[in-house]
Every structure is written in structure tokens, then in C-alpha cells.
Amino acid sequence: MTATKVEEANSSEGSPVPAGIIGKRHLQIFLLFLGMTISYGLRVSMSVAIVAMTDNSTTANPNFETFEWNSGTKALILSSFFWGYTITQIPAGYLAGIWSAQRLLSMGIFVCGLLTLVVPFGSYHGSWISVCICRVGMGLCQGCLLPCAQTLIAKWAPPNERARLGTWAYAGGQFGTVVTMPISGLLAGSVIGWPSIFYIFGSIAIIWAIVFFFYGSDSPGLHPSISHAEKLYIEGSLGILPGTLPKNKLEKSTTPWKEIFTSAPMWSLIIVHCGQNWGYWMLLTEMPTYMKKVLKFNIEESGSTTALPYLANWLLSFPVSWLSDFALQKGVSRGTSRKVSNTIAHWGPGLALLSLCFVPTNNGNQILPVMILVISVGLNAGALCGFQINHIDLSPNYAGTMMSITNCIASVVAILAPLIVGEIVYDEEDQHLWHIVFYISAFIYFVGNLVFIIFGKAEIQWWNDPKEVKARKERKLHGNHEMGSQKHI
């Protein structure tokens, strides 16, 4: 759609909604923010709970059963979520495009909440295998989270608000970590013990899923009470003429799988997403153990202190996203903005982890290592308006499918991270073994972002348009027929 047509549409239907006015798009983003918060809370609560589940001295009520799980078993439990999470990524992205991202997400988190409630029962009456089964099921349900969120953001966020609104939605993951870590630590150390972690967070997830099922919407065109002015503003900014809003569902045959998998910018996203998942989930799953075993925090302190880096990450995500959109308004190219943001997000934490290897922790020094971890995780906020939102830059139509692909492959890395750390750090109190993990993580951060800088792009790819894909295939087929005819002659 040309700029002239958009202007004509706007002038004939009224002025578009100013960007600063609160509207239905902001409500949808807020609901996604809460969904992210709760979903990440369900994931990361186990990182704190497992400390209390294996150490009876961490709770005020010693009557709760504890389990003799070694570091390898604990690593399996922590990684088992991603076994299921990886499997459903691509199917969820496909369903989000051809069916309903809003309904799929609602149902996924609803069942995930139910499985969370079952974890204590499985622990008592089964074994660590029962806990793994619950975690795998939770992962299967949450596989729809990022593909559905990406699909919904692509339909609700105007391009000039994309970094801010996308960051607001995705920042729920960091906020969920911030609130879950200390709350889980307090619950684990209280008289109601570690089972309460799963009962409380599971119940909250079920409530959110019901609310989002009734108040969420797949697109402005399908929302029952959006104002005409806001609908026109969003559609016009996305290049959609009034009265021509496409249905939410894409045709099943239009997904350009070959074009997506042969795209260099897409592969740069896959690689940088793998680097992100290694660093993010390595720290998220292992930091409570590092805090307790190396830095000698107790369970309540460990949960609260572990949350500090993610509080910094959440707080920094807002000025970073604002600066990203502001840079675009000042003429900085979208590609440069994305790459600068992502460089801060990956090379900054990489350098911080390297510096952590040179800080002694065996003399009671706790403040400096914690400050370094705060810097490392805090700077990672730039990834939200770096590679993560870049999926929508490349293809608004298939952003959910693309996210499902990159997150599926990156989830394999998230599975491997705690398992590899468990093998390397066979003695959890040996800081030198942790240094090996930090060196590896810094290297992965560096390489992943370097690939994104070299091969990443931020322009809409030609295969985003189903008609163009179909036309090229027809021209190619027609050309092959002509060559065959000439050969025959």
C-alpha cells in the first residue's frame, strides 16, 4: 500500500489515533505482558523450589518431605520443561497463523496451570520422573507462548510503536522472573513450604487463561469494541486499506517454508536466538544454586538476590525500547537500531561474565559478584528490541511461524544448558568449575551476535507476500515448461 493511499484512507475516515492515547491495543499488550509474567513464573519457580525440595534445612517447617536428588537429577528436572517446549514450537506457530493465536495461548496456559498444581502430588507419590513428566507437559503447553505472542504483536502493534509495545509484552518474562524468584524463596522458607509455590502460581495461571480467553482478540478487525479511529490507525500503519482487512487466518498452503529456511537473515536469527537461550537459561536455572553454594546465601536471600539481575533487566527494557523507536524517528535505519540493541544485549553480558571469572568469592565477597551478574542480565534487555522483534521486521505475516522455528531450535540449547552445566560443575561449591561455564557462555554470546551483525537485516522480505511467492513459483514453473518444450524441439 502506498503512502498516498494511506493518507487518502485516513482523510476519508477521520484522523488516526495519536500514538500516545491509551486504546485497545494497549489492553491487548498488557494482557500479553501478564501472560508472559505468569508463564515465566511457572518456569523459573522450579529453580528456587528445587533447592528447598532437596534441602530440609531451608524451610521453617521441616515436616515437608525432601528428596535425595543429585546434581545430575536436578539438571534433568530443570531441563525437562524444554523437552516438551521444543516439540510444540513449530506446530503452535502454524496453528497461530491458520487458526487463533488468542485461543491457542489461552488453552495452553490453562492446561499448564493445571499441570503445575500436580507437581507436589507427583513428587510425593511418584519420583523425580513424575516431576519431569509434569514439566514436559508444562513445556508442551507453553510451546505456543512466543509464536502466539509474536503473531498477536504483529497484528496489534503499529510499526512506529513496535519496539515499545513489543518490549512491553516481552518484558513480562523478566518481570515474571523478578517477582517469582523472591516470592518462591519466601514461600519455600515459610511454614507452608515449597508445595505452596506450585499451588499459588498454578492457580494464577488458570485465572489469567480464562480472562484472556474472553478479553483477548486476534486482531483489531476482530475486536468487538475497538473504536473505529483506533482500528483505522492500526490498519493504516500496517498498510491495510479500510474495508480490506484480511481475515486473521492465513491460507494453509501459503506458508513459504522453503523461502524461510533458505533466508540468510532468518538463519542469523536462529543462531543469535540460540546464543540468547544459552546465556539466559543457563543463568536463570543455575543462578540460585550459584548464589547458595558459591556465594553462600540462604534460600530466602538466594531467591531475592537472584531476582535483582532480572529487575535490572526489566527496568532497562523500557528506556532501551524508547531509545530504539526514538532512533528510528531521527533517521537511524531499522537494521542499525536492531543490531546496536542486540550488541549491547549480548556482548555486554559476555564481557561481564568474563570479568566474573577474575573476582574471588572464597573470602566472603558477595557484593561484587552480584553487581556483575546484575550488569550481565540487565544489559540483556536490549535483545527485546534487537533480534526478538526482528522477526516482525522481516515478515509481519509469518512472524509467529518464524518465532516458532527459531525458538524451537534455540530451545534445544535451553535443554542442553543445565545438562552441560551439571556435567561441568560436578562440585557446586568449586568456583573454578563455574568459571568454565562463564567462559563458554561469553564465547557463545560473542559468536551469535557477530553472525547477526553480518547477516541480519530489517527489511520486509519478498516472501512475506503470499501473492509474490505464488507468482514466482508460477513463473518458475512456466519457465521450466518452456525449457522442456525447446529441448523437445
Does this model's pTM top 0.85? My answer is no
Cα–Cα dist 188/194, whole Å? 4
**pLDDT value for 14:** 40
Give the length of the chain. Answer: 489
pLDDT for residue 161? 83
| Binned average pLDDT, 10 residues per bin, the chain of 489 residues | 38 45 90 96 88 73 78 85 89 88 97 96 88 94 93 88 86 88 86 91 97 94 89 82 50 77 96 94 82 78 77 89 86 93 96 91 79 93 91 89 91 86 87 93 97 95 86 75 58
pLDDT at position 7, please? 38
Using DSSP, state whether 218 is helix, strand or coil.
coil
191: left (phi over 0), alpha (psi -120 to 50) or beta: alpha
Q: How far is 318 from 291, CA to CA, in rounded Å?
A: 27
Structural domains present in the chain: 24-238+258-458 (1.20.1250.20)
**Is the CB of residue 248 less than 8 Å from the CB of residue 219?**
yes
Which amino acid makes up residue 141? C
Residue 260: C-alpha distances to residues 6, 133, 216 (Å): 29, 33, 29
d(CA 459, CA 103): 30
Report the pLDDT value the prediction gives residue 55, as an integer from 0 to 100: 77
Report residue 479: phi and psi, to 5°.
-65, -40
Half-sphere CA count of 465, side-chain side, radius 13 A: 11
C-alpha cell at position 177: 522472573
Question: What are the distances in angstroms from CA 450 to CA 48, 100, 233, 343, 461?
Answer: 33, 36, 37, 8, 21
Which residues have a Cβ under 8 Å from the Cβ of 314 and sit 6 or more positions away? Answer: 171, 174, 175, 178, 381
DSSP 242: T
Q: Which three cell numbers stand for residue 456?
A: 541480519
Cα–Cα separations (whole angstroms), residue 22 to 18, 30, 161, 330:
9, 11, 13, 24
User: Is residue 84 a contact partner of residue 139, using CB atoms and an 8 Å limit?
Assistant: yes
Give the amino acid at 396.
P
Secondary element (H or E) of residue 43: helix 24-53
Confidence at residue 10, expressed as pLDDT on a 0 to 100 scale: 38
Res 13: pLDDT:
37
CB 92 within 8 A of CB 107: no
DSSP of 163-177: HHHHHHHHHHHHHHH
Burial 248-273 (b: 16+ CB within 10 A, else e): bebeeeebbeebbeebebbbbbbbbb
- Alpha-carbon span 185 to 28, nearest angstrom: 31
